Each structure stands twice: as C-alpha cells, then as structure tokens.
Structure 1
C-alpha cells in the first residue's frame, strides 16, 4: 500500500505539468481518474510510440484510469459531478475562466464537496493582467528572465533542453496539494490552490539573480559564477569534438586539478571574481581539455578529487551502470518507464504500471 492509498484524484489536466503531478500521486497509491476530452489528451499522439503507446504519455500517465467526457454536454457534466462527489483532489489545467463557464470552478465544487482540494495549473495564474495570456514553457521562461541566461557564447538565447517552468509547476502543485491534504486533517475542510508556472519558476533564480532581486542589474552568463563565468563551473570541448564539465568551484577542487596539471601558479585565479578575472585560467583549461578525447579525460580523472563529468547524450546517460543498479529505467511489457524519483524504505519495490487507454 502506497502512502496515498485511499486518496481519490480527478485529473482534468493535459500535456505535462498536471499529468506529472497526478502521476507522482498515482505512483504512491492514489486512485487517479484522468478525465479527457473525447479526442483524448494530445500527448497520446506524441511520437515515439512503443508497445502501442506514446512514450511521453505512458511516462506521465501510468497507473491512472482514463475516462472520455464531453463537459459541454449534460451527460458529461453529470458524470463528472458523480466522480467529484467523494473525490479528495481535483486538478485542472484549463485557461482561466473555463472551469467557471463549465460550472466546475472551486466554489461550485466545494459547495457540494467541501473536503475537496482543488488545484488549478496555468501559465500566469487565475487573476491579474497576464491571466489570459497564452503561453507554454518557452514563453514563461522568456518572461521570467531565465531564457536571457540560457544563451550561447554569442549571447543568443537558445531553446532550453528542460521544460523547467512546466516541471516547477508540477512539483509546486504536488507540494501544495499534499500540504492541503495535511491541513484538511486538522480543519476538516479542503482548499483551493492557484499554481502559476511563472510563479513556480521565479524562485529558482535566487542563486543567480541576487543583484537583480535587490533592484540592480541582471546577471550575464559570461560574468556570473554559475552560468559560465567561472573556470571551474564550465563546459569544455575535447579533442574528439565532445565535451566535459568542471562542476565545482571549491578551491580544493581547483588545487587538486591544477596540481595534477603542474599549474598551481594559476590557483589564485580560481578564487577571483567570475568573468575577466578568471579568463586566463579558463583559456588554459580550454586548451588543455582540447588535447585529449572525452573518454581519455574520463580515465585521467578517475583517481582525482575533482568535480568533473563528461557531457553525455541521453542514450549514454540511460545506459550507465548506476542507472541499472538503482532501477531508474525499467522495461516491462515491451515498454520502458522512468522510475519515480523518490521512494520510501517502508514501501514495496516499485513496479511499473500501464497507462490507461481512453474509455467512454
């Protein structure tokens, strides 16, 4: 029995943030009923397909039930009311105002089920001047400042490899829902939480945008210690055209590496401000890493206390021995699934489950 056994969740969300939130609940025992439009969640059609289902859809919707409902019809709305009658949690990801027009806003649902924990996930929240502005992850990252430092050497922002705003919203939504469930144990009443992707993403800049937060200038990648301005927190090209990273700025790591390279004279530069002050050290490391292949550097660093890693593609990352050792990628029934990121010692070993087909 999972930690959330006995919790019933009605999930009206599509694509990424909401489905990720409810899948994490399903992974830990919650009964999740995914309510989809008659055409289904668009993620069902996203390639690639494995064992008859989208890999994306399966890895965000496993362990759920799925029900197709037309919420514009009387029959569809009545069926949803039946599902909500004894539900503990409701998740929706429509644009602000849609649920109210359908008759399923928080006030309407809580009037019939005051114990419901109701979570809305949107780009900018349910109220305010940006509430109705359409946006997916990329636009939210652009408006929150993060895209400005997701740039190449030429300063041109590039499309991020991680949908951080989507993921931040899902994680914040899960945390808020669980807090509300704990609060309900004390008060007997549910609650409403308005999760905005923008709001969820913004706190993630505290370590890089301190000056801007206090009213000053924005960070730039070439001068910020965590964005590419520090020699020991940077990406380096190797002789075979691949890449490695130094991922720890602590002086002990700099001393370890520069001693091994017989260049302790450069050690004082590692303690200077990021940017121009460290440029000579960065240039030396760039020239040095260009002399061996990525795998040669991996072997060279094996006995050295330095925060070093090769840059792997996803195939290489998923094929690592420790991924298999920890059971982080599981094959079952001809399909591959990424295991939950958190597991409890008291729980039984996690087993992958199917994602639901769409039913009437």
Structure 2
C-alpha cells in the first residue's frame, strides 16, 4: 500500500528540530523530502548527544530524507535552488526572518518561480509583531508561553520541561500547516505562505487557562502534580511512583473502598469538592497505603478496580514497555556502517495508507548527484557544478 503523502515533493531548508521534525513527519507518510544543507552540513549534525560518532539528535529528526549540499550564496548554488523550487510542492524552512529572502527562497521569489509551491516558514515569534526579529530556542518559548510558569511545585521555581516541547509541537503544527496548504491548493491551484510561530504554536496548549486569565477570574499557577479541581496526583510506592486519578464518582467509591475508607465516598456525595478541600488529610492515608506496596502492585490492584492510574516511568522504562513494543512506537533506525539507533517512530496509525518503513538519515550531500539527475542535469553539468567554486558538492 502507498502512504498518504506519496507523490508529494518537499524541499527542506531547515536546521535543528522544528523544521526537520515537520519534514520527517511528512517523509514518514510518503512525501519525498530533499534536505538542502550548506557545504558543512546543517548544525543539527553536530548536536549532542553523539554516540559512536553519530548525532542521535540529528538521527531523531532526519530519517527517510535525501540530502543535497549547496552553497546558497553562490550563483551555481542559487541556480540549483531555483530548479528545486520548480520541482517542489512544499518548501519548509525555519531560518530566521529575512534569511530566506537573502538566500533566494523568500516567498515572493518562490512564487515567481513556482506559484504552486506551499511555503511553510517557521520562526520563534512569527513574521510580524514586536518580537519578530528575535531568535528563539525551545527554552525561550517555554518560558514565554506560560508553560514554565505553570510547571513545578506550588512553592518552587518555574520549570522548563525536560523534552524540547516547544520545538516538537511546532514541528507538528508545521506539518499540519503543510497539509492544509496542499489541500487548499487542490481548490485554488496556487500555493501560499504559511506563517508558523513557535509561541503561536504553544498558545493552544493553555486552553481554558487563557480564558481564566483573560477574564481575571484567577491567575493560572503551579499546582505540582495535583489537579486543583479534582483528586489526583503522584504518590510514592515501595519502589517508585504512581499517578492516581480516581476522578469520577464511581472511581472514587472504588478507591475509597480499596483503601478501607468507604466514608470518603459518602462525604464526597454529601459535600461536592470535599476530597479536594481535605486533600492533605486524605493524602496521608493514601501515601501510607502506596508506600507499603510496589508500583506494579498498586497499578494492578487499582486498574482491576476500574480506577485510572499508571506507573511513573523513566525514558528507559518506556522504551522497553510492552505497550510501546506492541504498538511499534520505538523504531530501530539503521545508521551508517551497520550501526543502529532507537528513535521515536511515526505516532499515527493509518490503516489504509500506512507510514512507510523508516530509512536511515542521509549523509551530508549523499544524494546530490541523484537529485540533480532527477532535475534533468546531464553528467557533464553535474561535473561542472562540482568543479565550480561554491557549486553543488
């Protein structure tokens, strides 16, 4: 079976995470992605962590692509770029505002060459506004988006999430933008510029907290691992931690009975919100119960009772989790010289047009000749470009 985006041609001029992750999602689902890199490679190739000489950072964001090395400041490089734009259905970049125009792939130039190309431009703060010239990294966006301020213990400092949340969510939004642009092109026959800001991409995560703050009802604040409106949270066990969420009346009744306190269910029925108001008293009993058991035992017992719960897992735990193995979420990705790396695989399961088998990340410029031949370049012209200073390599 073909994948959903088979036949779609994507030109990636991007680095680090947000742009490459967007294009990796498209590649997973069948798009032909050509990654344009400077002669010394995009910066993600040198990013830590590096294992056995391979950047795992790069591997996690660049599978199933082809690489062409071009000096976009040179005339030969610009000529090849123009031909690639003529070939592309989608162009994705996360270079800073102004850089695409300087290097010859700004929106106006792209649409002069190919009016059907959908251009997805990812930046920290979008193409307009007082911060549009600011450079942003993941931590900056987490800090400015409200996420850090709402994360952590109530009496603790704001906390940046461990994973690169802003980068990866922006990559997902950009992938959706590319597909929406392609759908719109089916109706209009023309591509368009899609302005994707990292701060914009994070804003929807705040959901009702935005409404609360805008209405002046309350200032969203750090709650640690507990919900301020219901009974849930992290609890220690004999060998780790579990997250418990006996939120519905039926779950609370089962939970109360399991802990030997059926009166808790009665109190909650009589006084809605009692368990939240008396959380400190209840927590003392719950912690005594969980600490006397292993986390697997706690989860097994409460799941059998119909109570929502789960173990706190490290990333290493998750990689070996039977659910992850069964679903194939972790992919063993081939690298060069017979090496492999385990990376997150495609998250979506399309039953009629499944994601394709992942291919190793490309070596720098590995497909330059192949891509040029596809564009119709003769062997003589390819050799001439190779010899030209600043040409294709």
TM over 0.5: yes
Aligned match of 1:339 in 327, 332, 345?
345
CA contact (8 A) 1:231 1:278 kept: no
CA contact (8 A) 2:213 2:219 kept: yes
Q: Which has the higher contact order (CA 8 A, sep 6+)?
A: 2
1:261/1:50 CA distance change after superposition, 3 Å:
same
Q: 2:361: which partner in 1?
A: 355
Q: Which residues of structure 1 form unaligned runs of 5+?
A: none
Q: Which structure 2 residues correspond to residues 166-177 of structure 1 after superposition, within 5 A? A: 166-177=167-178
Equivalenced residues, count? 357
1:255 counterpart = 2:261? no
The CA deviation at 1:275 is 5.7
Inter-partner Cα distance in structure 2 for 1:142 and 1:275: 29
Measured at CA, do residues 255 and 28 of structure 1 come closer, stay the same or move farther in structure 2, by a change above 3 Å? same
Is the CA contact 1:92–1:121 (under 8 Å) kept in the aligned structure 2? yes
Partner of 1:236: 235
- Higher helix proportion (structure 1 or 2): 2
Instruction: Report the aligned-residue RMSD.
Output: 2.3
Paired with 2:124 and 2:45, the residues of 1 have a C-alpha distance of 22
Correspondence 1:200 to 2:201: yes
Residue 284 of structure 1 deviates from its aligned partner by 2.8
Larger radius of gyration: 2
CA positional deviation for 1:15 = 0.9
Contact 2:29 2:355 in 1 (8 A): no
Q: State the partner residue of 1:246.
A: 244
Distance 1:135 1:332 in 2: 30
User: TM-score, normalised on structure 1?
Assistant: 0.91
Structure-2 change in CA distance of 1:153 and 1:290 (3 Å): farther
Contact persistence 1:244–1:310 (CA under 8 A)? yes
For the structure 1 residues 101 and 330, does the alpha-carbon distance in structure 2 shift closer, same or farther, using more than 3 Å as the test?
Answer: closer
Q: 1:348 to 1:202 in 2, by over 3 A?
A: closer
* Distance verdict in 2 for CA 1:274–1:153, change over 3 Å: farther
**Distance apart, 1:127 and its partner CA:** 1.3
Contact 1:247 1:308 (C-alpha < 8 Å) held by counterparts? yes
| Alpha-carbon offset, residue 113 of structure 1 | 0.6
Indicate if the aligned counterparts of 2:231 and 2:279 stay in contact, CA closer than 8 A.
no
Classify 1:309/1:145 alpha carbon distance in 2 versus 1 (closer, same or farther; 3 Å).
same
The verdict on how the C-alpha distance between 1:75 and 1:274 changes in structure 2, with shifts beyond 3 A counting, is farther
Cα gap change, 1:103 to 1:215, in 2 (>3 Å): farther
Q: Is the 8 A contact 1:231 1:281 kept in 2?
A: no
Q: Secondary structure at the match of 2:87?
A: coil
In 2, distance between residues paired with 1:300 and 1:199? 42
Give TM-score scaled by structure 2 length.
0.84
Task: Give structure 2 stretches of 5+ with no counterpart.
Answer: 366-392
